[in-house]
Structure 1
């Protein structure tokens, strides 16, 4: 039951459409639609990665966080 009540996380593309009424990036060279692969923040690390639900990405993030915490 709690799974039904939980809000589904919005995708980056959906957030762009809601904010700017435009949902895609167009390559200035070939004019094809581009996909967002990742968003990186200097303090927070990966904010978004297209493979974020994959176990290998979760493991990599955990290792990076542990290394950052050890470094202070």
Structure 2
């Protein structure tokens, strides 16, 4: 479709090529940012799981040390 056809079919639509390119660039940057956030979340979840496991080991050790000897 050429510009004349577009203006005829969509008279209220007045988006420049430059504005469209800026919008696509913004979309691309947003996608990259979301992917980065997903990676950070996955990394944080891994760290959190490690902390929880360490906490469980500490609690087990504390329980073993607090049991009377011979039980």
TM-score tier (shorter)? under 0.3
Tell me the TM-score normalised to structure 2 length: 0.27
Return the index of the structure with the highest Cα Rg: 2
**Larger relative CO (CA 8 A, sep 6+): 1 or 2?**
1
More strand by share: 1
Higher helix share: 2
